[in-house]
Structure 1
Amino acid sequence: MLSLDIFSILTLLLSAKFVPTALSQSYAPNAQFKGKDFLGAFNWETFDDPTHGRVNFVNQGTALNTNLSYADDDVFIMRADYHQIVPSYARGRDSVRITSHDAWDESLLILDLAHMPEGCATWPAYWTASKNGPWPHGGEVDIIEGVNLNSNNLASLHTTPNCTMPQARNHTGQVISSNCDAAVNYNQGCGVASTTPNSYGSGFNNNGGGWIVTWRSSNAISHWFWPRNAPNVPNEIRQSESDCDPITPGDNWGTPDSTFVWSQCDYNPHFDPHQIIFDLTLCGDWAGNAFPTAGCGPGTCQDLVNNHPEAFQNAFWEINSLRIYTPQS
């Protein structure tokens, strides 16, 4: 009985005091996407939005021809249309959803982001999800997500049953929910809201964006965010794509914005190799339901999407680069 009690106490302490640097290893460059690289490495999805948004995802050719997607040597942009009235019979306002061809398991993702979609009715997201599926098998990791006029980013996990998070973890964010099971609480997942200023929406954009880093391992999934003007951005995060040397995650990076640990969730049954996804949906299950209390009136979310294209002038992603590192053998 005594040994069991000690084991339980140690488990709780490890989950509450998990420090990423303690279990880190060196990660080597695996893939880099900048500007036109995105055009060949991602698929432009055209299916109906699974979150029931008032949105029409278009293919790559249409997106490029209508400037919903744009790439040169230095930048990649994808956006919602902000010119057309949307007829009531249409599927929704034109927008973009892209999914990487490749998938990664344990990895380090470094996103240098200049601008994210903002404004009423918007629901942008940058996340990873199982290539094998079907969802939620293999898990989902939400890295950037929010709706309407939110100012704090929400990072979450969505899984099959029997995956929960301890309340006490070594991160600076605020725990919003602890049950990762997608079948619980209308697929709320286990979420952590960032407490770092300018982590989402107009505040993020007005500050020039920043760096969002995700470290996924069999020990934990952790996220860091550094605003563009932060004095403590590590050199290996700020470095240019041409200087991609191996990186040791978490070394001198400070406390993560959010951390998810496996003391109450077996990693391998819940997570497998993930593709990377960016999208911008409008209204839908979250943004639409939250619209009436978001300070976005008068009118409805659907009315704004259909009849006010000017409202979506700032609804775009502007990506400087996405670097992916994997463990060195």
Structure 2
Amino acid sequence: MLRAALCYPYNVSSAAAYALVDNYSGSSLLSSFNFFTDRDPTNGHVKYLSQADAQNQGLVKIDGTSVYLGVDHTNKAPGGRPSVRLQSKKTYNRGLFILDLAHMPSSTCGTWPSFWTWGDSKLWPINGEIDIIEGVHTNNVNAMSLHTANGCTISGSSSLGRVVTKDCYVQATGQTSNAGCGIESSSGTSFGTPFNSAGGGVYAMEWTSSAIRMWYWPRASVPADLSSPSPNPANWGNPQANFAGGSCDYNNHFIDHRIIVDTTFCGDWAGATWASNPSCTALSNSCTDYVANNPAAFAESYWKINSLKVFRQ
């Protein structure tokens, strides 16, 4: 079978071109997203701030067309480390999402940064979740995943990354609870400190009726057409993650998603895996104690977003 057919089960040549519908950067990014201030749904040792409070404390800054989203790295935080979680005001159903990052939170014990989309939180996981950038602690490699209700599986064939799990159902038999279907990037600069050392880069997620795919390029390898009015995923080769090839109705499992970017600490993933990370346990027996009492460790735990663009066919 031809490589293009492996990557794209639909007819690429007949697909409509992508057109830009939203371009978020600088002040337009902040005005188009809400600041989430409720309790962290993932039980993190975090205190999410309002936009006013975050800006007053220097956790949110606009630098030309770029946006800095940081965490408190000055004060001890026994009640949760101050951070931000942004959620798009608009919802989306399918499209091409391109995130240009100058910096993401570094590979630091206790951290759990994410760039993702999901449907109505009250209906989770019925309306699905798409994790585009995610990792914890000292991870250097990005973890991409989907989380759904029962009835969505993938093969992951033609992914450049390593297929870890194939059932996207959050309670799938034989998988860790809430693992979903997961693919680990093949790139050693795809997450955290190595990503930043390489000068940042670009992530793209294409969500169609037949698949969800994710690409990553370090700064020096970004395809030229990503800056064009109509980027074409057919030119990009195999994706890092090809969530396709199994049995899944993508239109019914992924509905009305908001775009989210956040940095939390400890919680359901980073907290649960603290004891299995020797580098972290050498610092403290407890994730929450370390995060609460070592503010300077989180000076590099920030996002610097150059732009986020959304295209539709």
Matches of 2:202 and 2:11 in 1, distance apart? 23
1:188-223 deviation per Cα after TM superposition (whole angstroms, max 9, x unaligned): 110000002200010001111101001110021110
TM-score when scaled to structure 1?
A: 0.88
Larger Rg: 1 or 2?
1
Residue 214 of structure 1 aligns to a residue in which SS?
strand
Deviation at 1:20, TM superposition (A): 6.6
Distance in 1 (CA, whole Å) between partners of 2:146 and 2:255 is: 13
Q: Which residue number in structure 2 is paired with residue 107 of structure 1? A: 95
Give deviations 1:292-315, integer Å, cap 9, x for gaps.
232122312111111110010000
The equivalent residue for 2:200 is 209
> CA offsets, 1:264-310, max 9 Å, x none?
11222211121100010001111112122321223121111111100
Alignment partner, residue 7 of structure 1: none
3-state SS of 1:251 partner: helix
Cα distance, 1:21 vs structure 2: 8.0
2:124 equivalent in structure 1: 135
Aligned to 2:269: 286
Q: Contact (CA 8 Å) 1:19, 1:170: kept in 2 or not?
A: no
Q: Does the 8 Å contact 2:202/2:216 carry over to 1? A: yes
- What's the secondary structure of 1:202's corresponding residue? helix
Superposition deviation, residue 183 in structure 1? 2.5
Structure 2: stretches of 5+ with no match in the other structure: none
Partner of 2:164: 176
Structure 1 residues 292-301 or 281-290, which shifts more?
Answer: 292-301
2:231 corresponds to 1:247: yes
The answer to whether residue 61 in structure 2 is matched with residue 63 in structure 1 is no
Corresponding position: 1:120 with 2:109: yes
Pairing 1:252-267 to 2, within 5 Å after superposition:
252-261=235-244, 263-267=246-250
Q: Residues 45-64 of structure 1 correspond to what in structure 2 (within 5 A)?
A: 45-64=36-55
Aligned-pair identity in percent equals 40
Of 65, 75, 86, 1:84 maps to: 75
- 2:310 aligned with 1:319, yes or no? no
1:97 deviates by: 0.5
Question: Is 1:17 equivalent to 2:6 in the alignment?
Answer: yes
Equivalent AA in structure 2 for residue 163 of structure 1: C
Could you say if the C-alpha distance between residues 221 and 283 of structure 1 is closer, same or farther in structure 2, counting changes exceeding 3 Å? same
User: How many residue pairs were aligned?
Assistant: 304
Give the aligned residue type for 1:313: A
Q: Check if 1:301 corresponds to 2:284.
A: no
Evaluate the alpha carbon distance shift between residue 20 and residue 65 of structure 1 in structure 2; reply closer, same or farther with a 3 A threshold. Answer: farther
Q: Which runs of 4 or more aligned residues in structure 1 lie more than 4 Å from their structure 2 counterparts after TM superposition?
A: none
Gaps of 5+ in 1: 1-9
- Report the Cα distance in structure 2 between the residues aligned to 1:252 and 1:236, rounded to whole angstroms: 9
Q: Is the 8 A contact 1:210 1:225 kept in 2?
A: yes
Residue 27 of structure 1 deviates from its aligned partner by 0.7
CA distance in 2 between counterparts of 1:136 and 1:160 reads 5
**1:3 counterpart residue number:** none
Question: What CA deviation, in whole Å up to 9, does each residue of 1:230-280 have, x standing for no partner?
Answer: 2xx22121x2xxxx51233x2221110001116411222211121100010
Residues 209 and 20 of structure 1: is their aligned pair in 2 closer, same or farther, counting only changes over 3 Å? farther
